[in-house]
Amino acid sequence: MEERIQQAVLLLEEKKYNDAEKLLFQLRKEDYKNEKINFYLGVLFSTYDNPDNSKEKAKRFFQDVVNGEYVYEYAFIYLAKFEGNKNQSLRLIKKGLEVFPDSHELIEMLLVRSPDEEKENIFQDAIKKDICSNDIYNYMFSYYYGYKKYQEAYEIAKKMKSLSKNNTLLIELAKGFCFYRMNEFSKAKSSFNLIINEDVNRELSYFPLIGAILCNLKQEELEIAFEMFDEIPFDSSISAELFSYPQLVFSFDTELLEFFKELQSRTKKTGSLAKIKGLRGLYLSNFNDKRAVKDLEYANKYLPNNLIYIEALKSIAESNVRNRDAFNYGLSLIKHTYIENEEYLESEYFWHFIKNSDLEDVLEMKKELISFITADSFNVEVYSGKICEFLIEKLYSLKRYEEIIEIYNHFNLQEMKGDFLFEVAYSFSIKGDINLAKETYELHQKKKGESNATLNNLGVIYRKQNNLYKAQEMFRKAVSLNADDKTALNNLEVVTKLIVEQQQEEEELYKAASTFNLENAWLKGKLIAFSNQRNKEGLIICPYSQLPRLLSVTEIRANELIKTFLEKKYVFKVTNHNLGTNSSVYRINSKIIDMIEDLLTKNQREIELISIAENFNIEQYSNIGFDERLLKYLNKVSSPDLKSMLERDINENVTALITKSYKTALIMSGSIVEAVLLDHLTSKNIASHTLENGKAKKVNQMDLNELLYVANKEGYIEPQLYHLAHAIRGFRNLIHPGVEKRKASIVVNEDNAILAWGIVKKVIQEI
């Protein structure tokens, strides 16, 4: 049994706690009353670095020990230490002392837990028994010193045993402060000066100097006091607790605060006051003392931009949940100390308080950040690190996307240090700027590598842009990174189906475009004219009443055309738009758009045909003057056959004008005038007439020139019209080859063709 117990002890020493536990419980099954086994089980469960440590279990096993015959001192110490009831703790200590009367630790615990009026008796009893230790002396020194029994405290300090040089110096310091409190300033100063010269490594911080300065102030040696004060750096964080290994701890809180107060009362110099208040503020900040803020703000005002002052102010603000103030202090540190403190200012710990800030504070932080960036425009980069990262993450969690974009817009892409591009990209996406969202996601991937979230969101953007193959690529990459990503898997499935549907739609679009390519020039022209109404999004907003105007046709024809366009899939009606209109919205088949653009740049001949065909409309006929009014004048023609022929020729004349066939138009104009004159003379029973040369000639054998002569002589046409009509007599002969070439005066152009047509109309109307 003993050998196995020692094996368990060895396992404990080797920190093999699981193995030790198994062995000890096995042993306890064999002998559950064995105090040694119970003791080591108590040790096992009281060991702090045992992952399975348990106060309750340790307490249970130690209780078995103290109730047994073979007891252990540590069992009493542990039980007394963690006993919540003070009286019960004292009972355990006293019971332990019955068994272990010379236990230094139990006596010290008895001193600590006993009422003040009993402490001296306990201490004196320990002295008589010669069982005092430095721990006991240390405790009683603090007890006497705290109750201003400085002589008693001094006597105890003399009894302390020094186990190291630092022990010696700390004991000497304690004696020095006892002398100081007993107003023996010269003795005190002697002790302090001795320590100052010996403690070259400042093991006792600045307390030897503080003690010496206090003595000089009491002796009115102000110049010496402030010279010594100059040795203390203005940014020192002084603690009132002094430790010296082993076993010595002294606290001089009262002396430190007195030191600050005495110095402050002896000077009016701003620099000295700033230093005094700065040191005091740093000390008080350790206790979250409200007085620290005032001191530190004063110090920072006159000893500005000092890391430790602002850091302390920030820490106090954080402790009091004044996160907005903490943020502003952090901004100040970035502005004034970034280069020398970059690593610290870029730590997550420094800005973690932002995560616990409310919306109001966060929005104010955003304003302050932008204000600093604007004022410090040459150093924008220093504000783009962890401060931005934490602030943007918080805004992102609050869904404040506009504010995120506002912050981001104050940085150059090359200046950013923090990891917040994903949140910015997502914000752009939510606000509808998918192009900037895509650019920012891609920049995020370039800096941080691909991730499921980024790839998924990029895929969604490409899908919105109808770039389905790129979207499919993004979703596939996301799935390859994490095959269990349900979002990516679902997106991949959906976009793959869309690609199949798109391919089918593409085939339909191509078929429709092929059909359109075979359409006549007139219909092509109408669709081209309609497509010219597209806005920058490629959409045509067209109220029903405007269709005839846009297509340059009648209302009935316009309805027929748009119906044809839709049925043949040349045009699609768009319903899922956000244009804010009740009018019909159309989109041209994309393949036809490509065809039209190709047509406009490459096939000039077809464009001319389309342009000509486009002019064949009622409006154009009316503009030329070929209307019902003109046709009514033909009712005067006596011969029905001639009337029919004239209607045909006039129609052909107008067609020639519209199609810019000016030679044909000129010939037709002369032919029409000749026919009208012949009909009119025949209707007047003029079968023959004497001409200008004195010879008679049959009317039906006369040329245009001769018919004009007779009509003029008989008074059927006005002299002015007679002379105008002579202008087209030469055009009648253009039908003969060579006439145009031989006669330079006969010019075939638009002006002459329009002139001839005007004469035709006038002849028809006047005769």
What is the pTM (predicted TM-score) of this model?
A: 0.62
Nearest 5°: phi and psi at 587? -135, 130
**Could you tell me what percentage of the chain is helix, strand and coil, using 3-state DSSP and rounding each to the nearest 5?**
70, 5, 25
Q: Confirm if 67 and 45 have CB atoms less than 8 A apart.
A: no
Supply 10's token pair: 């060895």
Distance CA 260, CA 339 (A): 32
Determine phi and psi for 690, rounding to 5 degrees: -75, 130
Average pLDDT, the chain: 89
The DSSP code for 736 is: S
Residue 741 has pLDDT above 60, yes or no: no
Find the distance separating the first CA and the last CA of the chain, reported in whole Å: 148
Q: How many Cβ atoms are within 10 Å of 71's Cβ, its own excluded?
A: 19
- 721: its two tokens: 């019209």
User: 323-440 maps to which CATH number?
Assistant: 1.25.40
Asked if residue 736 has pLDDT above 50, the reply is no
- Span 84-109, average pLDDT: 94
Q: Which two tokens stand for residue 364?
A: 């104010």
Of 611 and 11, more confident: 11
* pLDDT for 739 beyond 70: no
Q: Report the pLDDT value the prediction gives residue 415, as an integer from 0 to 100.
A: 67
The predicted pLDDT at position 194 comes to 95
CA distances from 593 to 251, 518, 565, 613 (A): 89, 15, 13, 20
Q: Any idea which fold 519-614 has?
A: Arc Repressor Mutant, subunit A (1.10.10)
SS3 431: coil
The pLDDT of residue 80 is 94
Is the pLDDT at 738 greater than 80? The verdict is no
Closest CA to 278 of 235, 241, 224: 235
Is 519-614 the same fold as 323-440? no
pLDDT band at 646 (very low <50, low <70, confident <90, very high): confident
pLDDT tens string 166-175: 899 999 999 9
Q: Which CATH class is domain 2-137?
A: mainly alpha
The whole-number pLDDT of residue 101 equals: 94
The yes-or-no verdict on residue 367 having pLDDT over 90 is yes
Is it the case that residue 603 has pLDDT exceeding 80?
A: no
What is the rounded radius of gyration, in angstroms, for the C-alpha atoms of the chain? 55
**Cross-strand partners of 242:** 250
Strand, helix or coil at 689? strand
Average pLDDT of the residues in 618-629: 77
Range in 90-94, 103-107, 249-253, 456-460 the model is least confident about: 249-253
The pLDDT value given to residue 602: 57
φ/ψ of 627, rounded to 5, equals: -140, -175
Nearest to 156 by CA among 184, 180, 126, 183: 126
| Position 604 pLDDT exceeds 80 | no
Q: Which residues of 531-547 are buried (b: 16+ CB within 10 A; e: fewer)?
A: beeeeeeebbbbeeeeb
Q: Cα torsion for 7, 11, 12, 15, to the nearest 10°?
A: 170
Query: Is residue 370 within 8 Å of 410, Cβ to Cβ?
Result: yes
**pLDDT tens per residue, range 351-362:** 999 999 999 999
Residue 495 has pLDDT above 50, yes or no: yes
The pLDDT score that the predictor gives to residue 113 is 93
Q: Which residues contact 408 (CB under 8 A, 6 or more apart)?
A: 392, 420, 424, 427
**Please, which pLDDT band fits residue 605 given cuts at 50, 70 and 90?**
low
Asked if the model's pLDDT at residue 512 lies above 60, the reply is yes
Bridge partners (DSSP) listed for residue 539: 587
Decide if pLDDT at 763 tops 60: yes
Exposed, middle or buried, 487 (CB in 10 Å: 0-12/13-18/19+)?
middle
Q: Among 354, 356, 346, which Cα is nearest to 384's?
A: 346
- The pLDDT tens digits of the residues spanning 542-554 come to 888 888 888 888 8
CA–CA gap between residue 543 and residue 548 (Å, rounded) = 10
Specify the pLDDT at position 1.
78
Q: How confident is the model at residue 670 (pLDDT cuts 50, 70, 90)?
A: confident
Q: Output the pLDDT for position 177.
A: 97
Contact of 82 with 65, CB cutoff 8 Å: no
| Calpha distance 536→429 (Å, rounded) | 21
Mean pLDDT value of segment 441-459: 92
What are the angstrom distances between the C-alpha of 406 and each of 15, 373, 382, 510?
A: 56, 12, 17, 45
Of 261-265, 313-317, 752-756, minimum mean pLDDT range: 752-756
Percentage of residues in the chain having pLDDT higher than 90: 59
How many CB atoms are located within 10 Å of the residue 652 CB?
17
pLDDT at 289: 87
Distance in angstroms (rounded) separating the CA atoms of residues 339 and 660: 80
Domain residue limits, the chain? 2-137, 148-260, 267-320, 323-440, 519-614, 618-766
3-class secondary-structure state, position 649: helix
Report the alpha-carbon distance of residue 516 to residue 569 in Å, rounded: 9
Contact in structure between 468 and 499 (CB atoms under 8 Å): yes
Location of structure tokens 């000092």: 306
CATH topology (fold) of 618-766 = Four Helix Bundle (Hemerythrin (Met), subunit A) (1.20.120)
**Distance of alpha carbon 613 from its chain centroid, rounded?**
55
| Arithmetic mean of pLDDT, 204-219 | 96
Looking at residue 730, what is its pLDDT?
Answer: 58
Compute the half-sphere exposure of residue 311: CA atoms within 13 Å on the CB side of its CA.
Answer: 16
- Count how many Cα atoms sit within 13 Å of the Cα of residue 300 in the half-sphere of its side chain: 22
* pLDDT-based confidence at residue 662 (cuts at 50, 70, 90): confident
Residue in the structure block whose two tokens are 């701890």: 249
- pLDDT greater than 50 at residue 759: yes
Model confidence at 744, in pLDDT bands (50, 70, 90)? very low
Residue 741: what are its φ and ψ, rounded to 5°?
-75, -40
pLDDT value at 616 more than 90: no
Residue length of the chain? 767
